[in-house]
Structure 1
Amino acid sequence: MQRIIAKDYFNDLLENNATVLLPNQGEKLELKDIDFTFKVTSEMSNDQLGVYKIMLKPMAIGAKLHYHRFMDETFIVDKGILTVQAGEEIIKAPPGSIVYVPRFTPHSFQNDTDEFVELTLLFNPSQKREGFFRGLLETLSEDPIDPEKYLKLYNKYDSFPVDTSNMIPTRD
C-alpha cells in the first residue's frame, strides 16, 4: 500500500529569505565616471526588483535620452544635485528627491555639478540589469567605443536610445 502525504493547502510556509546589505556591501563596478554597487539583484528578487547605489563623478553622464519597454525606473537622490530629463522636462533633483520614470518615458540622467552625486536606482522588474551594468563596463572601457556593440547591449537589456547618433554617455 502506497502512503500519500497530504499537502497543506491552507497555511503559508514561512521562511526567512531576507538579505541585509550594510552601506559598504554589495558587488561594485567602477567605470571612469560612474560607480555601480549591486544591492538587491535580479537573482535575489526572482527578477522582480533591482536596487543599485550609483555614484556619479563631477560632470558625469549616467545615460543619454532613452526609454524602457518592460520596466520602470526610480531615482532616489541621496547626495548632490542630479539632473534628470523626463520627456521634455529637465529636473534638478536635490537630496531627498524621488523621480519615478514609468516605461515608455524618454529619460536621461547626469551630474552637471562639480560635486559628486550619489543616488539609489531601482528597476522593476529588474530584467537581469546586472548583466547590463557588466556589459556597460566592458563596452565603455574600450577605445574607441563601438556604437553597434553599445546599441546591442542596450537593446538586449530593454533600453532604447531616442537618438542612436547621440547615445554614448560622453559630453560633446
Structure 2
Amino acid sequence: MITATYDLTADGVGPVRLTATDRGQGRPYLLLHGGAGPASAAGFADLLAGEQPARVIAPVHPGFDGTPRPETLTNVRGLAAVYNAFLETLGLTDVVVVGNSIGGWIAAEMALLGSPRLGAVVLVDAVGIEVPGHPVVDFFSLSLDDVARLSYHDPASFRIDPDAMTPAQRETMAGNRAALAVYGGSMADPALRERLSGVTAPALVLWGEADRIADPDYGRAYAAAMPGARFRLLAGTGHVPQIETPGSLLAAIREFTAAEVSVVGPDEGEATLTGPIRMRILEDGSTTGHRLGLGEITIAPHTEGPPQHRHARHDEGFYVVAGTVRFTVGEESHDAGPRTLVMVPPGAPHTFANPGDEPAVVLNTFTPDLYVQYFRDLRAMVAAGRPMTDDAVAEVMGRYATEPVTN
C-alpha cells in the first residue's frame, strides 16, 4: 500500500489537496468512507484489494483526519466534483465507486455528474435523500453509546469507550465530526431523491437489516429512485457493514461486479413478454458490468410494435435474424430483412412492426443495460392484471428515461 497526496482542481471548487491510499491491482475501486472517518474503511480496503483482485483507492475527505479543507469545499456535490477530478488525474476507467453513509451520498452525486470514467456505483447504507416517515437520525445529537446502539446489529462488540481514547484520538474525532457537519448538515438534500432519476450508471444499494441510523425502507426508496438500481438487504449487520460483516459486504460487491462467462441456450433466458410480441432477455447486464443488455424479440405476423418513442440515456440496436421487420423513424419507414442491423441513438424516434406473413426474430441490444428493467416492469404490470394501454406503457417508459413521440 502506498499513501500519496494529490493537488487537484475541481469544477466549482478550485484547488484541492487530496490524500489517498492505493493498494492492490486489478479493476479500480474508489472507496469512500463515511462520517466515522477513513479508519472505518481501511480494513475493508485491504480485504477488497486482496480478494477481488482489485486496485482499491481510498481517499480521505478533505477536512477529515486533520487534512486541509478549502473554504470553497462545503457540500457533497463539491466532494463529488473533487473525486471526478481525481479519477481524471489518475486516468482510470470503469471505476466502481463504493461509498458508505455520506460516502454513499457522494457516490450518488458522482453518478449524477456522469463521468465516463465511472463504471458502477455501490451505495452502502447511504444517506442524502429525504423519505417521508423514514428520517435519518440526527447524528449530531448522539453520544458515542447512541452511535453504537443505532449503527450495529451487535452494539456491545463495537462500543467505543471515550475514557480510553488518547487526546490525539479525541482531537481527530472532533475534527471529523466538524467536517461531517460542514458537508452533510442535516444529512439530506431535499432535491436529491428526484434528481436520482438521472443516474445511468449501474447501481447497487446494499443495506444492513439492523441499520437504525437510516432504516431499510429508506434504503429501498434510495434504490427505487435510480432507474435499474438493485437493492439487497444484508443480514446480521447495521449501518457500517464494512466493519461489522465485511465478508458479507465483499460477497455482495463481488457478485455485482463478477466477470463470469454467460452461456444462454435456445430454451433459456428470461421471458418478459408473451403474446404477439415475445421478449427473451439473454443478458441483463450481470455479465457485462451493466454496459450491455441483450434480448431476443419474436414478432408475430401482421403485428404492430409499441408507440413510436425515444430514449434519452441509452443506445438501442436491432439485428434482424429472421423475417422482415419494418422500422419507422419519424415519418420514414425501412423494411429490414435478415442480417440487417438498425442502430438507434438517444433522441431518435422509432418503433417497429412485422408486416409480413412469417414470424420475425430480432436481436435487441441496450447500451448501457438500463432498458432491460422496462420489460420486467411490463411483465409485472400484466401479472398484476393491469391492461397494457398506451398510457400505461408510457408511464413505465418514463421510469427509464424514455418517452412516447407526440409530434
Q: TM-score if structure 1 supplies the norm length?
A: 0.79
Q: Tell whether the 8 Å contact from 2:311 to 2:403 is kept in structure 1 after alignment.
A: yes
Question: Do the aligned partners of residues 59 and 11 (structure 1) sit closer, same or farther apart at CA in structure 2, a change above 3 Å counting?
Answer: closer
Task: From 32, 37, 41, give the equivalent of 2:280.
Answer: 37
- State the shift of 1:146 in Å: 4.7
Where 2:306 maps in the other structure, the secondary structure is strand
- State the shift of 1:122 in Å: 0.2
Deviations 1:64-107 (Å, cap 9, x if unpaired)? 21100001110000000000012332100000000011010000
- Equivalent position of 1:57 in the other structure: 300
Between Structure 1 and Structure 2, which shows a larger proportion of helix residues? Answer: 2
Mapped partners of 2:343, 2:276: distance in 1? 23
Q: Tell whether the 8 Å contact from 1:77 to 1:95 is kept in structure 2 after alignment.
A: yes
- State the shift of 1:60 in Å: 1.6
RMSD across aligned positions (CA): 2.7
Residue identity (%): 25
Question: Do the aligned partners of residues 108 and 140 (structure 1) sit closer, same or farther apart at CA in structure 2, a change above 3 Å counting?
Answer: farther
- Equivalent position of 1:167 in the other structure: none
**Would you say 1:92 and 2:352 are equivalent positions?**
no
Question: Do the aligned partners of residues 139 and 16 (structure 1) sit closer, same or farther apart at CA in structure 2, a change above 3 Å counting?
Answer: closer
Mapped partners of 1:103, 1:79: distance in 2? 26
- Equivalent position of 2:378 in the other structure: 136
Mapped partners of 1:72, 1:125: distance in 2? 7
Which ranges of structure 1 fall in alignment gaps of 5 or more residues? 1-5, 165-172
Question: Do the aligned partners of residues 10 and 57 (structure 1) sit closer, same or farther apart at CA in structure 2, a change above 3 Å counting?
Answer: closer
Count of residue pairs the alignment pairs up: 158
Deviations 1:38-75 (Å, cap 9, x if unpaired)? 11113332321110011001112222211000011100
Question: Do the aligned partners of residues 138 and 114 (structure 1) sit closer, same or farther apart at CA in structure 2, a change above 3 Å counting?
Answer: farther
Moved more, 39-48 or 98-107: 39-48
Moved more, 81-90 or 145-154: 145-154
- Equivalent position of 1:80 in the other structure: 323
Which ranges of structure 2 fall in alignment gaps of 5 or more residues? 1-21, 29-52, 55-257
Between Structure 1 and Structure 2, which shows a larger proportion of strand residues? Answer: 1
Mapped partners of 2:27, 2:394: distance in 1? 48
Moved more, 102-111 or 30-39: 30-39
- State the shift of 1:132 in Å: 0.9
- State the shift of 1:11 in Å: 9.8
Mapped partners of 1:46, 1:9: distance in 2? 18
**Would you say 1:110 and 2:383 are equivalent positions?**
no
Query: RCO (CA 8 Å, sep 6+): is it higher in 1 or 2?
Result: 1
- State the shift of 1:24 in Å: 2.2
